[in-house]
């Protein structure tokens, strides 16, 4: 607490920023109590470790073509060769490595875009809810409009007509998905605005900006944290879809979408080109989604009064 | 029914504003992205002067607001314009044969193209929803009635699993397993109803996790309400309470979900699934239009999609007030 006067004014049990943070801490603690959370976290951490260090460990190249090693099946099948654990693609490139790099790209895009939509959406939502009046009306109607354009139409239109790059992909995802965050944070701000501690802070001369950031923002995390975790996975799927359609990150950079779509041509003879990267992606997404799902349950239990 | 009239008047006027704004956003977007559609309409052989003349003739050099006004006027009279590229007979003309000018009459009308594609998309969407309900309703209800026990866990696991499978991957894997390898079902294109089945399964995998979660949460919440325990105390059997009251109440949030979330998801899913399977619906039409810079089609689809979204949300809200009288609009 850097502002002791607010502390004093709202004692004993209405300590401002602590309330939201307290619920967040309880929620995380409860979530960690689920076995599923631990399993998912371990799987996720392993995947992250592999995407970062895999290229140094595995003695193969993700982009180097090797004609003599084309269409090698995964190592557990007949004809599989070390070090190509998941086999090779039509150009003899190692599939595990390509998938790991694809995973890294997808996760980076997912994480950055979710942070972006979180910050943008919450800023707009808190401002609208705290200000109220016509600002609120205009901003909320804007979310209506935004939500009335299906994400995929917006994305295909923008990415298909401009030159897709990681930055434009992230911007499109942010543009398409911020309204959820704005809606939730607005309703939180609306509820918190009238509470005693906010009024007290205002009387004590705290600026609007300070109230919004220090006092209201922490309360937003519990209702939205699980949405953000689930959204990282959702954005990663979008990234894969864009790559598949040809409007994502462009080759030769490996992405799940381009690997899967190139594999469709060799489906009968070399099904692993398509299947193997998908399993890897599904594992990563599964762990994220399981964590998000558990987080949602933990939040519900905490809000229903469990300690 | 004064309430119904007031409800619809208010929501329709709000909806019109939203659709108009969406139209404006898409319209502007299409005109600020790089790439001149005239080059695509007329082909690479057209001279610069023909290009400019035709552009002027089509009104593509007017100020944007005037273009938008004209466009809205046309849409209001039911005219969605004509494709830049697709000929009346179907297929792309490529443009090069009429390098000395452009005759809009020779191009297919957007309304016609959409009307041709829509039934396919609706059929796919309907079958997809039906498959999804088939999986989600039993799992969701079981999970909701047994919160914290094994059916609940199964609900969590299935929805986490399904939501983690990218539709592009499920699509390709199913083509491999059910079509290429075994030959049980056809997969690419459309030549009969059986071509809808695999795409619909992919769609269902995408839709069911949201349904499972919504159903289980909604059912579990209703079991926690006082009316449930009061009903039991008053001697109504558990089966009756669940069958007649809990499930009915649980349907309200579910319908809201259908409006707000599902339709957006469904549209997105349709686009991707149609693309994977070369299925001749709205999604395929739009994706091709984007790659060919066929602006009239993109515009029309975006507007119709948002209008559909607005209308469905309106109907859903109305239906939920009918089911649950406590809700006010």
Residue B311 touches partner A, C-beta closer than 8 Å: no
Residue B1 has a pLDDT of: 60
| Residue numbers in B near A162 (CB within 8 A) | 33-34
Domain match, B92 and B204 both: no
Q: How far is A263 from chain B (nearest CA, A)?
A: 9
Q: How wide is the angle at C-alpha A166 spanned by C-alphas A241 and B292, nearest 5°? A: 60
Peptide bond into B275 cis (omega under 30): no
Half-sphere exposure of A42 (CA within 13 A, CB side): 5
State the nearest Cα–Cα gap between A3 and chain B, in angstroms: 40
- Do residue A36 and residue B156 have CB atoms under 8 angstroms apart? yes
Q: Are residues B38 and B63 in the same domain?
A: yes
Residue B325 lies in a domain: no
In a domain, A136, yes or no: yes
Residue pairs spanning A and B at CB distance below 8 A: 140
Could you tell me the pTM of the whole model? 0.85
| Residue B251 in domain | yes
Are residues B151 and B191 located together in one domain of the fold? yes
The minimal CB distance from B164 to the residues A144, A244, A286 is found for A286
Residues B249-308: tens digit of each pLDDT: 777 777 776 666 777 788 888 999 999 999 999 999 998 888 888 888 888 988 888 888
**Where in the sequence is the domain holding A237, given as residue range(s)?**
33-55+79-303
**Quick one: pLDDT band at residue A97, thresholds 50, 70, 90?**
confident
Residue A30 predicted with pLDDT over 80: yes
Do both B91 and B179 map to the same domain?
no
> pLDDT tens digits for A56-92?
777 666 667 777 777 777 767 776 677 777 777 777 7
Domain hosting B220: range is 113-289
Does some domain include residue A63? Answer: no
Split into its structural domains, chain A has a count of 1
Which CATH number belongs to the domain containing residue A268 in this structure? 1.10.3720.10
Shortest Cα–Cα distance, B32 to chain A (Å): 10
Contact A80, A141 (CB under 8 A): no
Residue B233, CA distances (Å) to A197, B81, B147, B223, B237 in order: 42, 64, 21, 14, 9
Nearest CA in chain B to A146: B22
Flag whether A68 is in a domain: no
Asked if A150 lies within 8 A of B34 by C-beta distance, the reply is: no
pLDDT digits (tens, 9 = 90+) for B108-129: 788 888 988 999 999 999 999 9
Residue B261 is assigned to a structural domain of this protein: yes
| Cross-chain residue pair A237–B172, CB shorter than 8 Å | no
- B182 at the A interface (CB within 8 A)? no
* B320 occurs within a structural domain: no
CA distance A279 to A129: 43
Q: What per-residue confidence (pLDDT) applies to A26?
A: 83
Same domain (yes/no): B150, B254:
yes
Q: How far is B173 from chain A (nearest CA, A)?
A: 7
Does the beta-carbon distance from A157 to B298 stay under 8 Å? yes
CB contact under 8 A, A145 and B287: no
The domain total for chain B is 2
Nearest CA in chain A to B173: A275
CATH number at residue B132: 1.10.3720.10
* In chain B, residues 245-304 whose CB comes closer than 8 Å to chain A: 260, 264, 267-268, 271-272, 275-276, 286-287, 290-291, 293, 298, 301-302
Answer yes or no: do B191 and B256 share one domain.
yes
Digit-coded pLDDT (tens) for A192-229: 888 888 888 888 888 888 888 887 888 888 888 888 99
Q: What is the mean pLDDT of residues A2-18?
A: 41
Query: Do B274 and B207 fall into the same domain?
Result: yes
Q: What is the mean pLDDT of residues B173-179?
A: 89
End-of-domain residue from the set B110, B143, B160: B110
B179/B284 same-domain check? yes
Nearest residue to A177 (alpha-carbon basis) of A265, A91, A110: A110
User: Which is more confident, A65 or B67?
Assistant: B67
Question: Are residues A112 and A79 in contact, defined by beta-carbon separation less than 8 angstroms?
Answer: no
Chain A partners within 8 Å of B213 (Cβ):
293
Shared-domain flag, residues B129 and B206: yes
B120 and B262 in one domain? yes
What's the mean pLDDT in B177-184? Answer: 84
Q: With 60 as the cut, is the pLDDT of residue B321 above it?
A: yes
Domain identity same for B92 and B64: yes
Cβ B302–A157 below 8 Å, yes or no? Answer: yes
A171 — pLDDT class (breaks 50, 70, 90) = very high
B145-153 mean pLDDT: 84
Q: What angle do CA B294, B300, B302 make, to 5 degrees?
A: 100
Residues in A touching B275 (Cβ below 8 Å): 244-245
The answer to whether B163 contacts chain A (CB < 8 Å) is: yes
Closest-CA distance of chain B to residue A186, Å: 18
Question: Is residue A106, in this structure, part of any structural domain at all?
Answer: yes
């Amino acid at each position: 607490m850097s502002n002791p006067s607010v502390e004093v004014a709202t004692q004993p049990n209405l300590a401002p920023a602590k309330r939201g943070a307290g619920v967040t801490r309880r929620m995380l603690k409860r979530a960690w109590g689920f076995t599923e959370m631990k399993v998912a976290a371990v799987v996720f951490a392993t995947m992250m470790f592999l995407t970062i260090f895999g290229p140094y460990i595995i003695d193969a190249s993700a982009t180097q073509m090797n004609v003599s090693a084309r269409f090698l099946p995964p190592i557990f099948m007949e004809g599989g060769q070390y070090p190509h654990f998941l086999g090779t693609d039509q150009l003899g490139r190692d599939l595990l490595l390509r998938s790991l790099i694809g995973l890294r790209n997808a996760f980076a895009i997912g994480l950055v875009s979710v942070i972006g939509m979180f910050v943008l959406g919450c800023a707009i939502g808190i401002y609208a809810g705290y200000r109220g009046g016509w600002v609120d009306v205009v901003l909320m109607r804007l979310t209506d409009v935004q939500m009335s354009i299906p994400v995929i139409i917006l994305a295909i239109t923008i990415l298909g007509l401009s030159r897709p790059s990681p930055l434009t992909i992230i911007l499109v995802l942010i543009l398409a998905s911020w309204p959820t965050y704005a809606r939730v944070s607005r309703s939180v701000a609306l509820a918190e605005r009238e509470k005693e501690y906010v009024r007290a802070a205002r009387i004590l001369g705290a600026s609007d900006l300070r109230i919004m950031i220090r006092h209201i923002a922490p309360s937003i995390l519990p209702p939205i944290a699980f949405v953000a975790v689930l959204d990282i996975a959702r954005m990663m799927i979008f990234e894969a879809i864009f790559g598949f359609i040809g409007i994502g990150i462009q080759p030769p950079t490996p992405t799940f979408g381009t690997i899967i779509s190139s594999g469709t041509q060799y489906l009968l003879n070399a099904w692993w080109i398509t299947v193997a990267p998908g399993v890897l992606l599904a594992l990563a997404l599964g762990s994220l989604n399981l964590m998000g799902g558990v987080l949602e349950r933990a939040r519900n239990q905490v809000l229903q009064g469990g300690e | 029914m004064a309430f119904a009239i007031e409800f619809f008047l208010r929501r329709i006027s709000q909806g019109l504003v939203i659709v108009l704004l969406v139209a404006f956003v898409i319209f502007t977007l299409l005109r600020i992205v790089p790439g001149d559609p005239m080059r695509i309409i007329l082909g690479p052989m057209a001279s610069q002067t023909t290009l400019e003349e035709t552009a002027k003739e089509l009104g593509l050099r007017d100020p944007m607001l005037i273009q938008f006004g004209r466009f809205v006027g046309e849409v209001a009279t039911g005219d969605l314009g004509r494709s830049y590229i697709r000929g009346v007979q179907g297929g792309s003309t490529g443009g090069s044969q009429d390098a000395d000018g452009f005759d809009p009459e020779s191009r297919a009308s957007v309304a016609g193209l959409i009307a041709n594609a829509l039934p396919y998309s609706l059929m796919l969407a309907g079958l997809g929803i039906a498959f999804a309900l088939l999986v989600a309703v039993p799992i969701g209800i079981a999970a909701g009635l047994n919160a914290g026990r094994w059916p609940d866990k199964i609900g969590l696991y299935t929805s986490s699993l399904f939501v983690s499978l990218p539709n592009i991957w499920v699509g390709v894997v199913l083509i491999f397993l059910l079509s290429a390898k075994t030959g049980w079902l056809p997969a690419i294109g459309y030549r009969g109803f059986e071509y809808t089945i695999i795409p619909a399964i992919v769609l269902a995998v995408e839709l069911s996790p949201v349904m499972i979660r919504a159903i289980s949460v909604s059912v579990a919440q209703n079991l926690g309400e006082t009316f449930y325990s009061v009903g039991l105390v008053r001697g109504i059997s558990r089966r009756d309470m669940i069958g007649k009251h809990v499930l009915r109440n649980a349907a309200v949030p579910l319908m809201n979900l259908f409006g707000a979330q599902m339709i957006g998801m469904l549209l997105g899913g349709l686009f991707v699934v149609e693309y994977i399977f070369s299925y001749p619906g709205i999604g395929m039409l739009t994706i091709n239009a984007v790659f060919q810079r066929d602006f009239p089609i993109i515009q029309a689809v975006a507007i119709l999609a948002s209008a559909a979204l607005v209308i469905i949300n309106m109907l859903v809200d109305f239906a939920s007030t009918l089911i649950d009288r406590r809700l006010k609009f």
